[in-house]
Structure 1
Amino acid sequence: MQNAQNMQNYYQIIKKVNRGFALNTLRAISVILVFSLVYAFSACGSAVQSGQNLQKRLPNASVLNSNPKKGGTLTILSSESKMDFDPARSQGLPITSNSLVFRALTTWKVTPSGKTSVVADLATDTGTALDGGKTWKYTLKKGIKYQDGSPITSKDIKYGLERSFANSLTGGFGYHKALLQGAKDYAGPFSGKSLDSIETPDNQTIFFKLNAAFANWPWVASLAAFAPVPLNSGNAQDYGKSPVASGPYKIVENEVGKQIVMVRNTNWDSSADSIRANYPDKIIWKLGVDPSVAAQSMIQGNSGADNAILADFVPPAQRAQAKASYKSSNLLITSGDGALEYLAMNNRRIKDVKIRKAIQYAVDKQSYQRAKGGAVAGGFATTLITPGVSERKVYNLYSANPRGDVEKAKQLLKESGKSKLKFSLIARPDQAQVASSIQASLKRVGIDVSIRTVDSQIFTDMITGDSGDYDLALSKWQPDFPSAYANIGPLFDSSQIGGGNWNISRYSNPKVDSLIRQAVGVIDKSRADLFWQQVDKEIMRDSPIVPLIYSKNTYIHGSNVENFFVGSFPAYPNYARVSLRN
């Protein structure tokens, strides 16, 4: 960005919303529980018969039926005890259960194959950049309505977004809070104040005035806070229990610890929404479910399980059991490569780039992958920009062999003039096995690694705090939207060292900082792509981290479920075009 303070504020938001992803799968599981969208079908693989059409299967999809039936009750089984549908509080992505109930200015088009793209939703397009990208204009589609038949206006979008600034409605995504002019001291609409940087000259038009040019604004406008909320409503703390629907379903029951029931919203117009569908008559979320029991029920084909989906990851034991049978193996879907798992090297303690490059060559990624469960855990990583992000260009600056290059590592250590190196690797209890694989890798080249296991909260405080009292750490990063900036900025901009931020390699390169600030304001995509690809390689030349694998996730569905798949981004399933065969 042009303004360093604006960039810093933006990273503060990213740091808060990504923290759980980077730590472990807990936030990932929460996100899965609310993942629900999207559309279009293409296929290759083994053929199966469904209805009157010969359908095909992909490893990341159930049967894909291009002529699905309407009817039936879809059951979604979730380990969560509570789900909040208030868009101001939501950290669900635009392909979540939220999108069954409400829409935003833009959304994501996700397919079983192909890149995820941002597309128009309530707006007529993904936005018009004005003033070099510092102002964005949207025009709403005509005839869009709430569940009660009242019209959705631009003023409802403004009000919904303003609600997200209220101190009583915290917890949701807040990228817009760092980007909108005058937002720093704004405290929401409930005291009668309005945010002047959001302008609505009429009921169809809305302008957003930003602190600086920001090319990724169309992605930001797809997030939950941009859902419309009727004026003078939604200030109650329990609005999320039954929000006013703009999507294909409305909530008729929401009981904590038990279930949520959704039925069709008759005022949703499919002709104005090419992304969602409403094939099931009803969707019931069963809450507080044990994932192992739920997966076992589907594998055994118990009564009611054929129309069900498990929102959580399939536990390893049930995954192995399902794979052992051809019939039950067809109930599993596995994502492509997703979040980046990596070994961070504290650049303030491991200052010599030759030593960092030696570690790069010494690490046996195959051993790490095996410790995670094998190829099903994810493919080998070489780039910082993750699969499914359009700016990504595949390259590998280091060993082509995932087992590493021991001789090259030893050569670099010799050139560094250092010997008998000793480093500490901090790890959470659940990382013990993979930490041991890193320890064994580095021992091959004469580097002695001691593993220090600490509680998860202590781990987080250590790697994101100011002291940086560690040499090596294992981490994971999933961006909240498919953007190179969301991949790279929070992890490698020098402003993100310490202070609770996620530049845990403590990497600082003024050239990289400058490139990031230039890239975020480039509206032309082809130019921006080149910037980000340059940044990716520039960072990897300094070897601040070792990319290990891109995580894969496995899910299970009942035998009567169709059109349930995982796209290239994110590595979570889509629900909004799910249908039932019978």
Structure 2
Amino acid sequence: MGSSIYSISSLSRRGFLRGAGVGATVAVLSACGANERSVTSSATPTKGGTLTVLTSDTDINWDPGRSQGMAVTSLALVHRRLTSWRIVQGKEAKVVPDLATDTGKASNGGRTWTFTLKDGLVAEDGSPITSTQIRHGVERTFTASLAGGLGYHKTLLDGTSGYTGPYKGQHLKSIETPDDKTIIFHLKAPFGDWPWIVSMPAFAPVPLGDNPTTYTRKPVASGPYRVADYKQGVAATLKRNPKWTPSSDDVRTALPDTIVFSLGQESSVVAQRLIDDSADDHNSFGADMAPPARLPQVTSNPQAKARLAVGSAGPLQYLAINVERVKDIKVRQAIAYAVDRKAAATALGGEIGAAPATTYITPGIPGRQEYNLYPESTEKAQKLLNGTNVGQLVLLVSNDEGTMALAQAVGQALQKANLSVKINPVENETWVEKVTQSDGSDYDLTIASWNPDYPSANANLQPLFASSEIGSGGFNLGRYHNAEVDKMLSDVAALPMDEAKEKWAQIDRRIAQDVPVVPLVYRRNAFLHGSGVSGFFVNPFPAYPNYLVVGAQGR
């Protein structure tokens, strides 16, 4: 489910660092203090006009069954779900009702969840939005041709083994629709984060009788916008959906009359256009992160700098230690003490590029607690290693510029602690295979990035540290297996969200004691927008703009 963390039209949790600028730009960026500016646009929110989203993507998939998109990006303009996220500047993300009247009622010890739809919901084609359409939307994700979307529900719902979708008349017994407004989900085990799960694209209504091969181009909208025109590789144009009722929707402001996704745009060219802020570009923003090579030009220009939204933190970049090869915990602790997080941040552009990281749970996630078990100390690292023959450590990394810069910073810090490190750069596809599919024999250390799919600490911790996530495409890159931690993860996942918050922080610290991963930095995502764009800000989570509240206006 991987994709670059630089594009947000198809965001996923597994982001691999791409093209982070290094070298001459670092000193300039650090000195400019771009992150000191407000991260929100100053334009007055105005209803109407055309908003343009400039993206390097050459295609946008509008089929919710195949989407990995977050609840605040492109797909959510067209498709509503049972719940959504309330993203307010400076506040933690909150799960809120969307199509449903509430965030779900749990019963049967947390194994059963019931949702009731709001009154008067109507789709773009004039048909009532029903519980059966939502069930169909979920069931069709089990069809082989619709693989690739976020699939948490596939492992959480009961009785899904062998199920291949609804198109031959088969339905999941674990999803009940006793009437048009009620939908009931039966889970394999209690899961307190289910209200977050039903905010994912799969829980958008899809009318029965859809054609799964063409629905990505001709979706039936439940949100404030419909896909009015689509030109492959050129543009996707959204127009207002007249059947959408603002009184039923608390998260979408739907300010622009038209939203145009301009496809296949080169990010450096986009940055220059937004710096110039001429013609229609004043009502545009970049879907991709601002290229680091352009940032000195941005920060030296007061007008452009005022239109650079920079998050205070974001996705976690980390050093995974293969515990099956680096078995001595004292060696792993020494690595943690030896790592120079400030040098790692500098490698990614200084203050504007990244912030030093000390926890696995990322900023902006409810329940996160700040701590640092291993503050930088080369002396402590050397003391722990005294008399230990570690041998040469192989640091396997994807060979893109940003990851290589991090690898060099990590290697230099470990060498100061008398650890020998061999950096082994490979193509990204090879890296993914070696760290997620193989037996882990090719590396002692590796560098990766993680952005959770939804705002829960469970989405930070379970994918990275549950033993079930070792190999077979899982992302437990430290190959960490601890029965105590597995039980803690399972037990806390069963709790209601409010009860789980503090316990997630405790698990974060417990895992850190075993040092399967060393946090390096929280990536600071930076995005440019035109002077006519309103409601544009970047929170620590999701670390990307909230498309649902962005507006445009004339000069």
TM-score interval (norm. to shorter): over 0.9
CA drift of 1:64 comes to 6.1
- Residue 250 of structure 1 corresponds to 226
Give the Cα separation in 2 of the matches to 1:27 and 1:575: 13
- Residue 508 of structure 1 corresponds to 481
Bigger CA drift: 216-225 or 340-349?
Answer: 340-349
- Residue 65 of structure 2 corresponds to 88
Q: 2:302 matched to 1:302?
A: no
CA drift of 1:30 comes to 4.0
- Residue 42 of structure 1 corresponds to none
Give the Cα separation in 2 of the matches to 1:228 and 1:502: 30
CA drift of 1:29 comes to 7.1
The answer to whether the Cα contact below 8 Å between 2:134 and 2:204 also exists between their aligned partners in 1 is: yes
Amino acid at match of 2:395: L
Q: 2:11 matched to 1:31?
A: yes
- Residue 439 of structure 2 corresponds to 466
CA drift of 1:421 comes to 3.8
Give the Cα separation in 1 of the matches to 2:314 and 2:440: 31
Question: Map of 1:221-300 to 2, 5 A cutoff?
Answer: 221-232=198-209, 234-300=210-276
- Residue 39 of structure 1 corresponds to none
Q: 2:119 matched to 1:149?
A: no
Gaps of at least 5 residues in structure 1 are 1-16, 33-56
Give the Cα separation in 1 of the matches to 2:426 and 2:293: 26
Q: 2:418 matched to 1:446?
A: yes
Q: 2:341 matched to 1:361?
A: no
Amino acid at match of 2:398: R
Give the Cα separation in 2 of the matches to 1:318 and 1:329: 11
CA drift of 1:58 comes to 6.2
Give the Cα separation in 2 of the matches to 1:545 and 1:104: 34
Residues 312 and 254 of structure 1: CA distance in aligned 2, closer, same or farther (over 3 Å): same
- Residue 96 of structure 2 corresponds to 119
Give the Cα separation in 2 of the matches to 1:69 and 1:420: 62
Q: 2:549 matched to 1:569?
A: no
The answer to whether the Cα contact below 8 Å between 1:346 and 1:504 also exists between their aligned partners in 2 is: yes
Q: 2:76 matched to 1:104?
A: no
Gaps of at least 5 residues in structure 2 are 13-35
The answer to whether the Cα contact below 8 Å between 1:112 and 1:568 also exists between their aligned partners in 2 is: no
Question: Map of 1:423-572 to 2, 5 A cutoff?
Answer: 423-430=393-400, 431-464=403-436, 465-523=438-496, 525-526=498-499, 528-572=500-544
CA drift of 1:203 comes to 0.7
- Residue 306 of structure 2 corresponds to 330
TM value normalised by structure 2:
0.92
The answer to whether the Cα contact below 8 Å between 1:140 and 1:205 also exists between their aligned partners in 2 is: yes
Instruction: Say which SS state the counterpart of residue 126 (structure 1) adopts.
Output: coil
Question: Can you list the C-alpha shifts for 1:390-428, whole angstroms capped at 9, x where unaligned?
Answer: 1211111121xxxx21111111112xx314642111122
Amino acid at match of 2:61: D
CA drift of 1:581 comes to 3.4
The answer to whether the Cα contact below 8 Å between 1:190 and 1:235 also exists between their aligned partners in 2 is: no
Instruction: Say which SS state the counterpart of residue 561 (structure 1) adopts.
Output: coil
Instruction: Say which SS state the counterpart of residue 195 (structure 1) adopts.
Output: coil
CA drift of 1:474 comes to 0.9
Give the Cα separation in 1 of the matches to 2:284 and 2:541: 23
Structure 1 residue corresponding to 2:293, chosen from 317, 322, 334: 317
Question: Map of 1:30-109 to 2, 5 A cutoff?
Answer: 30-31=10-11, 59-63=38-42, 65=44, 68-109=45-86
Residues 64 and 389 of structure 1: CA distance in aligned 2, closer, same or farther (over 3 Å): farther
The answer to whether the Cα contact below 8 Å between 1:126 and 1:138 also exists between their aligned partners in 2 is: yes
The answer to whether the Cα contact below 8 Å between 2:78 and 2:223 also exists between their aligned partners in 1 is: yes
Instruction: Say which SS state the counterpart of residue 31 (structure 1) adopts.
Output: coil
Residues 29 and 281 of structure 1: CA distance in aligned 2, closer, same or farther (over 3 Å): closer
The answer to whether the Cα contact below 8 Å between 1:85 and 1:98 also exists between their aligned partners in 2 is: yes
Amino acid at match of 1:577: V
Question: Map of 1:125-204 to 2, 5 A cutoff?
Answer: 125-204=102-181
The answer to whether the Cα contact below 8 Å between 2:142 and 2:165 also exists between their aligned partners in 1 is: yes
Give the Cα separation in 2 of the matches to 1:327 and 1:27: 24
Instruction: Say which SS state the counterpart of residue 533 (structure 1) adopts.
Output: helix
- Residue 321 of structure 2 corresponds to 345
Give the Cα separation in 2 of the matches to 1:362 and 1:138: 50
The answer to whether the Cα contact below 8 Å between 1:249 and 1:265 also exists between their aligned partners in 2 is: yes
Amino acid at match of 1:202: D
Give RMSD over aligned pairs. Answer: 1.7
Give the Cα separation in 1 of the matches to 2:141 and 2:469: 24
The answer to whether the Cα contact below 8 Å between 1:341 and 1:476 also exists between their aligned partners in 2 is: yes
Question: Can you list the C-alpha shifts for 1:72-108, whole angstroms capped at 9, x where unaligned?
Answer: 1111111111111011111111111111111000000
The answer to whether the Cα contact below 8 Å between 1:116 and 1:567 also exists between their aligned partners in 2 is: no
TM value normalised by structure 1:
0.88
Amino acid at match of 1:63: S
Give the Cα separation in 2 of the matches to 1:30 and 1:262: 17
CA drift of 1:231 comes to 2.2
The answer to whether the Cα contact below 8 Å between 1:114 and 1:568 also exists between their aligned partners in 2 is: no
Give the Cα separation in 1 of the matches to 2:391 and 2:354: 30
Residues 494 and 73 of structure 1: CA distance in aligned 2, closer, same or farther (over 3 Å): same
Question: Can you list the C-alpha shifts for 1:205-240, whole angstroms capped at 9, x where unaligned?
Answer: 1100111111111001000010011222x2241111
The answer to whether the Cα contact below 8 Å between 2:10 and 2:67 also exists between their aligned partners in 1 is: no
Question: Can you list the C-alpha shifts for 1:449-483, whole angstroms capped at 9, x where unaligned?
Answer: 11112121221222222143211111111110111
CA drift of 1:339 comes to 1.2
- Residue 380 of structure 2 corresponds to 408
- Residue 581 of structure 1 corresponds to 553
% identical equivalent positions = 43
Q: 2:187 matched to 1:210?
A: yes
Instruction: Say which SS state the counterpart of residue 176 (structure 1) adopts.
Output: helix
Instruction: Say which SS state the counterpart of residue 240 (structure 1) adopts.
Output: coil
Question: Can you list the C-alpha shifts for 1:44-73, whole angstroms capped at 9, x where unaligned?
Answer: xxxxxxxxxxxxx963221264xx321211
Give the Cα separation in 2 of the matches to 1:275 and 1:225: 18
The answer to whether the Cα contact below 8 Å between 1:96 and 1:575 also exists between their aligned partners in 2 is: yes
Give the Cα separation in 2 of the matches to 1:124 and 1:239: 27
Amino acid at match of 2:393: F
Amino acid at match of 2:11: V
Instruction: Say which SS state the counterpart of residue 230 (structure 2) adopts.
Output: strand
